[in-house]
Amino acid sequence: MTQYLLLRHREIPEISRLEVYRQHGGFEAFRKAVTEMTPDQVTEVVKASGLRGRGGAGFPTGLKWSFMDRKSWPHYVVANADESEPGTFKDREIMEGNPFQFLEGVAIASYAVGAQRAYIYLRGEYQHIARWLDEKIAEMETAGLLGERLFGTDYSLRIYTHLGAGAYICGEETALLESLEGKRGQPRVRPPFPPSVGLYGKPTVVNNVETLTNVPLIIQNGAEWYRSMGTSDAPGVKIFSLSGRVKRPGNYELPFGVTFRQLIYEYGGGVLDDRPIKAIMPAGASSSLLRADDRLLDTPLDYAALRPLGGDLGSASVIVIDDTVSIDWVIQKTLRFFKHESCGKCTPCREGTYWMKHLIDHIRANGKEEKQVQLLLDVARQIQGKCLCALGEFSTMAVVSGIERFGEDFR
Amino acid sequence: MTLAEKYSQEIQAIFAKYPPEHKRSAIMPLLYLAQREEGYISRQAMEEIAELLEISVTEVAGVVGFYTLYHDRKEGKYRVQVCTDLPCALRGADEFLKELSQALGIQPGETDAEGRFTLEEVMCIGACHRAPVFQVQSAEGVMYYENMTVEGALEALKKLE
């Protein structure tokens, strides 16, 4: 693909400058939304475009916006820039390269849900990006694109950045909100969901950076235009973060429906040392391990297509594992991560990740006794379906799929 | 000097980001401010932040302890934080950490005798495509070092002194 929709800085290097972004139609969508459309009309267009959340869950974005409780005010928009899934580095490139399109997306989302205050929650390691966005926000204020009575209407909006401080769990939306409220980032019991009770107890939309960056183009060009790309299950484009044992790791913006074979060989240049692919993790460390057979490699990718193959597309953070790698080692790596990142609030996850890590260390150090492998599998299954948020569930994905699908590595 | 005396303008700017009735939201930026002093958050700073936010010191300490980028004790001036998570490890991060550790003469978790460097093994920092990677955290903030070799890393660290 030659024309970028999200990673436009690769074609227009200076698009991070306000005047250049505006020369390329920047902020026309925001102006159009505020001056020519009602908030509901904006939401309807996004709904009709079929845009789904790019943070991993794939929830329809317009539908989420329409859930905002109209009896409770004020409303908030929070951009989730916590990007912490191992294998994910796409939001960072958007914010570094094409910051105004993202900020315009935040602004349009805010108008659509009637929010006059929006926060961007960035992972603590992205301090340089927070400073960069602060500069861009200040430029927007000076240019009259943020502030009071925008474009001569009654609508006012301010955008603020907020830095996390190193906690994977804060990518979970209710943990993120707790963190933004100044507490430890531990997930809330849901329901209620944030569009009913969110930041400071008020209705809140939490959207991923990549999701929001799609919005200006959808408003500008219409839902039908957006639907002309991708698949019927997942219209539009997706940034695939490709990592692991490939020759050219990086971000690839491609329409949904691309295959793993195209992504890995055409774009990623193939596997290091030209080894065969053994397994693919399509959604970062939270993925099930998928055996890389022809059927998998040639499946057009969207959310629905991967389910019958026993996987989830998630945030499309594709980790490639070749035949030099043993799956028990992969599991040890993912468990080390989840044990460290478990927030400790709910018992199955806190204790479960501890014991799974303990067991895989034991198995790898002392030989793969069948009894111990079975025990690890049992502990993982005991965790499933019992946790407050998805982290506990995620911690079991590689364990269960790895032992079931790559049994030869556990004998 | 207290934080409020030293950074009054910055503290005002931090509070202005949040609704006045929810000033507790300012805790994370205030902790970063406190950490800028000596690379860690002292007990005294926690007490002062608790007072500013009208919450208990225990609540402040609870937040400090929860997040990995806040530290409650003095370590090396520069924390060299190497990512060894799965995507990085698939591109040689474990070997990189081992060799860097040998070259610096400290194990992960240790600080050198001069108090310059603390070596740490950390979770994903969002640079998987540029492994091996590490970040250096100091009082000034966080800096990324990507596509690293051990020689390149040592050279970069030398420049910090």
Q: What is the DSSP string of A103-144?
A: HHHHHHHHHHHTEEEEEEEE-GGGHHHHHHHHHHHHHHHHTT
Q: Which residue of B has its CA nearest to A131?
A: B141
Mean pLDDT value of segment A75-96: 97
Closest CA to A376 of A393, A353, A394: A353
- Alpha carbons A261 and A321: distance in angstroms, whole number: 14
**Strand segments (E) across chain B:** 78-83, 117-122, 134-138, 141-145
Mutate to test the interface with B, among A116, A125, A179 (most CBs of B within 10 A): A125
Q: Measured on CA atoms in the order A20, A217, A64, A56, is the torsion positive or negative?
A: negative
The pLDDT-based confidence of A39 (bands split at 50, 70, 90) is very high
Q: Taking 80 as the threshold, does the pLDDT of residue A2 lie above it?
A: no
**Phi/psi of residue A287, nearest 5 degrees:** -80, 155
Q: Which residue of B has its CA nearest to A336?
A: B85
Amino acid A1: pLDDT: 46
DSSP string, A244-297: ESBSS-EEEEEETT--HHIIIIIIS-SBGGGPPEEEEEEEEETSPPEE--HHHH
Q: Which residue of B has its CA nearest to A85?
A: B124
Give the single-character DSSP code of A409: G
The pLDDT-based confidence of A381 (bands split at 50, 70, 90) is very high
* Model confidence pLDDT, tens digit, residues B32-73: 999 998 899 999 999 999 999 999 999 999 999 999 999 999
- Its pTM stands at 0.97
CA distance readout (Å), A86 to A130, A269, A300, A335, B20: 21, 21, 23, 12, 36
A344 three-class SS: coil
A207 three-class SS: strand
**Phi/psi of residue A16, nearest 5 degrees:** -80, -5
**In chain B, residues 92-121 whose CB comes closer than 8 Å to chain A:** none
The answer to whether residues B104 and B119 touch, using CB atoms and an 8 Å cutoff, is: yes
Mean pLDDT value of segment A262-266: 97
Amino acid A184: pLDDT: 97
Contact across the interface for A88 and B126, Cβ inside 8 Å: yes
Chain A residues whose beta carbon lies within 8 Å of the beta carbon of residue B135: 125
Give the single-character DSSP code of B142: E
Mean pLDDT value of segment A362-372: 94
Mean pLDDT value of segment A218-243: 97
Give the single-character DSSP code of B117: E
Contact across the interface for B67 and A165, Cβ inside 8 Å: yes
Mean pLDDT value of segment A122-134: 97
Contact across the interface for B123 and A167, Cβ inside 8 Å: no
Instruction: Calculate how close chain B gets to A346, using CA atoms only, in Å.
Output: 15
ipTM, two decimals, is 0.96
* Model confidence pLDDT, tens digit, residues A389-400: 999 999 999 999
Q: Which residue in the set A125, A319, A333 is minimally distant from B126, CB to CB?
A: A125
Please report where in the chains the tokens 């490939």 appear, as a residue.
A246
Contact across the interface for B68 and A165, Cβ inside 8 Å: yes
Mean pLDDT value of segment A256-283: 97
Give the pLDDT of chain B (161 residues) as one tens digit per residue: 799 999 999 999 999 999 999 999 999 999 999 999 889 999 999 999 999 999 999 999 999 999 999 999 999 999 999 999 999 999 999 999 999 999 999 999 999 999 999 999 999 999 999 999 999 999 888 999 999 999 999 999 999 97
What is the overall mean pLDDT for chain A? 97
Instruction: Calculate how close chain B gets to A232, using CA atoms only, in Å.
Output: 30
Q: How many CB pairs under 8 A join A and B?
A: 136
Mean pLDDT value of segment A116-123: 98
Amino acid A330: pLDDT: 98
Mutate to test the interface with B, among A94, A127, A200, A325 (most CBs of B within 10 A): A127
Contact across the interface for B17 and A184, Cβ inside 8 Å: no
Amino acid A3: pLDDT: 84
The answer to whether residues A321 and B73 touch, using CB atoms and an 8 Å cutoff, is: no
Q: Does A87 touch chain B (CB under 8 A)?
A: yes
Angle between helices B150-160 and B93-104 (to 10 degrees): 50
**In chain A, residues 121-180 whose CB comes closer than 8 Å to chain B:** 123-128, 160, 162-168, 179-180
Q: Taking 70 as the threshold, does the pLDDT of residue A138 lie above it?
A: yes
Q: Does A82 touch chain B (CB under 8 A)?
A: no
Instruction: Calculate how close chain A gets to B1, using CA atoms only, in Å.
Output: 25
The first and second tokens of residue A398, run together, are 């590689």
* Model confidence pLDDT, tens digit, residues A291-334: 999 999 999 999 999 999 999 999 999 999 999 999 999 999 99
Q: Which residue of B has its CA nearest to A86?
A: B124
Q: Which residue in the set A128, A163, A243 is minimally distant from B29, CB to CB?
A: A163
Q: Does B40 touch chain A (CB under 8 A)?
A: no
From the CB of residue B57, how many other CB atoms can be counted at a distance below 10 Å?
14
